[in-house]
Amino acid sequence: MSEKKTRPHCPICRAEVELLDQNKDFPFCSERCKSKDLGKWFGGAYLVPGRAASPEEIVEEVRRPRQND
């Protein structure tokens, strides 16, 4: 009687995923899918209405010389 292991599936590409002890990217099948998922979350962050100023905008604000000094 052979032991049948059920493997989870990658949430990104649906491929079978190696279990955690053999797969540092678990629950993803690969580093590629792992970073794809992270990208999805970071991308979504920019869709939030009323976003905060970007670091570049803040730098511009600080560098601007003051007119009424």
Task: Check binding of 10 to Zn ion (CB under 5 A).
Answer: yes
Instruction: With residue 12 as reference, give the H or E element that holds it.
Output: none
Contact in structure between 7 and 16 (CB atoms under 8 Å):
yes
Residue that is written with structure tokens 């009323």 in the block: 50
Work out how close the CB of 44 gets to Zn ion at its nearest, in angstroms, rounded to a whole number. 19
Contact in structure between 25 and 31 (CB atoms under 8 Å):
yes
* x-marked contacts with Zn ion along 14-53 as a string, rule CB under 5 A: -x-------------x---x--------------------
User: Using CB under 5 A as the criterion, which residues of the chain lie in contact with Zn ion when the complex forms?
Assistant: 10, 12-13, 15, 29, 33
